Amino acid sequence: MLYPKMNAVRQVFDLNGIWNFKLISDELDRKEQAGRLLKKSLPMPVPSAYNDIYPNREFADHVGEMVYQRTFDVTESMLEGRLVLRFGSAAHRAEVWLNGNRIGAHKGGFLPFSFEIGGKVQEGENLLTVYVNNIVDYSTLPCGRVETESFPGLPDRTVDLPNFDFYNYTGLLRPVWLYTTPLTYIRDITINGRCDGSFEWKVEADGKDPAGSVADIQVLDENGTVLFQGSGFEGAGQLEKIRPWSCEDPCLYRFRVELRNRDGSRDEYTEEFGFRDISIEKCRILLNGKPVYLKGFGKHEEGPFSGRGTNLPLMTKDLGLLKWIGANSFRTSHYPNSEEMMQLCDRMGILVIDEAPAVGLNTGFTATGLLGGSPEGTWAVLKTGEHHRRVMEELVDRDKNHPCVIAWSVANEPASQEEGAKEYFEPLVRLTKERDAQRRPVTIVTYEGSTPETCKVAELCDFLMLNRYRGWYDTEGNLPGAAAKLEAELEGFHRRCPDKPIMLGEYGADTVAGLHDVNARLFTEEYQTLFMKTYAEVFDRLPYITGEHVWVFADFATAENIKRVDGNKKGIFTRDRRPKQAAYYLRDRWMKRD
């Protein structure tokens, strides 16, 4: 799916800003409400999560529906071509109405969706109403449970218990735009450049009479010099002396398409891309044919005030801190990040493991994603299969051209040791691979309940990504013991899959910034540093370890739980992005570690 871009033929109109907002607590006639202005609404910024904007815990923790509304004006010229309304995302489900008419819906909170609205708007003012539903259950990704709690003498209360360890920030999280295209238009572009300068493309035209169109293409370098010209909806080319895209030199090229239509109109779109290879060979991940050791984090896209809402300064700052600490990569745990984040990573040379919002697929987890729930036979109970397929398709379609994306993660910590896991994941892994022209490696990030003896999905993965908390959730305070357990498990997985690269997807310890202890007790900055050192010593002994992603880049908000003091504190940075002591240790290690 193409990102909205303005050019000589396409216009983009910003619908971000302050919208009208209301939580819906009672039955509501959607059609009736969508046809008139909201009464007693609150001003609400878009993009943003709605939750932390106003005080009141009932407001923040609302379960169910909310409504966003605004008006926008359409000019005569906007109606000459195709007019599209596009949402960067709405968590977790959205139903969109225009001038009192329903125009469509979308499920899944972290991927874009759009509607053609040309025939549905009028010149002048239009009323846009979006109903957003924030419930997570066993049919959504991420997964959660809706339960009714009863207390003596009090009315029943509905609670939504996320199966995951991050606060359920919701609303219109990402930008909203209108954009225009000609009636015959470029629907999609796939461009796949390799580090030897070869490339292939595919252009998809749609709309009125696409069969009568011709596609001309050009490849330009960053200065705008045309390096290649060709035509056709599909084709291949070869350039001499390109600069491959890499972390050190994230050189971007431009693929420019001009669609000439039979009616004399034309569309154009320019997609950025890089020439780079990603492959796997004998326990190594290779970038442009050379082994790359992944240094970095699992990272949430979130921060104070706007929660998980698109926050350009925060994103850019985070990538600056990744560079500062010597990291070269992160995983978008546990959902696709904003499109703007992917663009920044392309530009700054950060390698991304792009994760689907498939977290909490384990009925053995408690409400906050911690172990201790009641296993019910996850794969017989969950109803996520079909939705998961669609999400993988939408994710690959959105991010396929980004050189920064080096792998897909189909899920985080599913019940991969339970019967049915292989049957659930096999088609998803296949679909992800087949849909991606670059055939990037695919993984499923597994947890410690899924051992070398019990894991049912290891063989499906191109590389293994393991989350381990020895020294924290067990063996706490005993780092030599933790190291011994860790090493034994890694060796076990290596014996089982001797050719697959193995990396840690998560390891970490909750750390209260400013808490110190000469004996490096739990929760202190000293313990976090020692924890990192202990794990690093194990990695350095094992030649098949191909990367280390610390949990977590920065402290983040979670649901309330007695194991969480104001959220998850495993950050190497605080939530306001100040380094803890371990940041200096990692910086020292990673700056030296190639």
413 is catalytic: yes
For the bound state, the minimum distance from the C-beta of residue 334 to ligand BDP, rounded and expressed in Å, comes to: 6
According to CB under 6 A, which one of 165, 271, 318, 394 is a site residue for ligand BDP?
165
CA angle 134, 135, 136 (to 5 degrees): 120
Binding mask 304-343 for ligand BDP (x = CB under 6 A): ------------------------------x---------
Catalytic residue of the set 258, 301, 355, 506 = 506
Q: Which is nearer to ligand BDP, 86 or 549 (CB)?
A: 549
Q: State the number of binding residues for ligand BDP (CB under 6 A).
A: 11
**Residue-wise DSSP of 232-299:** SSEEEEE-SS-----SS----EEEEEEEE-TTS-EEEEEEEE-B--EEEETTEEEETTEE--EEEEE-
Within 441-500, the residues that bind ligand BDP by CB under 6 A are 447, 467
Q: Which is nearer to ligand BDP, 184 or 467 (CB)?
A: 467
568 binds ligand BDP (CB under 6 A): yes
Q: Which residue has the tokens 């191909």?
A: 546
Q: Which is nearer to ligand BDP, 316 or 561 (CB)?
A: 561
Label the pairing between strands 214-220 and 405-412.
unpaired
Establish how many alpha carbons lie within 13 A of residue 21's alpha carbon, considering only the half-sphere containing its beta carbon: 21
According to CB under 6 A, which one of 45, 336, 369, 414 is a site residue for ligand BDP?
369
184 binds ligand BDP (CB under 6 A): no
Task: Report the SS3 class of residue 120.
Answer: helix
555 binds ligand BDP (CB under 6 A): no
**Residue-wise DSSP of 21-88:** EEEE-S---HHHHHTSPPSS-EEEEESS-STTTS--HHHHT--SEEEEEEEEEE-TGGGSSEEEEEES
| Cα distance between residue 425 and residue 423, in whole Å | 6
Are the C-beta atoms of residues 388 and 428 closer than 8 Å to each other?
Answer: yes
Label the pairing between strands 12-14 and 176-181.
antiparallel
Q: Which is nearer to ligand BDP, 275 or 335 (CB)?
A: 335
- Where do the DSSP E strands lie in 370-484? 405-412, 442-446, 464-467
Residue 231's DSSP bridge partners are 216
For the bound state, the minimum distance from the C-beta of residue 506 to ligand BDP, rounded and expressed in Å, comes to: 5
Within 411-430, the residues that bind ligand BDP by CB under 6 A are 412-413
Q: Which is nearer to ligand BDP, 321 or 411 (CB)?
A: 411
According to CB under 6 A, which one of 10, 106, 549, 570 is a site residue for ligand BDP?
570
Q: Which is nearer to ligand BDP, 197 or 373 (CB)?
A: 373
Q: Which two tokens stand for residue 373?
A: 């729930």
506 is catalytic: yes
Label the pairing between strands 284-287 and 290-291.
antiparallel
The residue number whose beta carbon is nearest to ligand BDP equals 165
531 binds ligand BDP (CB under 6 A): no
Catalytic residue of the set 95, 413, 418, 448 = 413
Backbone angles phi, psi at 404, to 5 degrees: -65, -30
Residues labelled as active-site residues: 413, 506
Q: Which residues bind ligand BDP (CB under 6 A)?
A: 165, 334, 369, 412-413, 447, 467, 506, 551, 568, 570
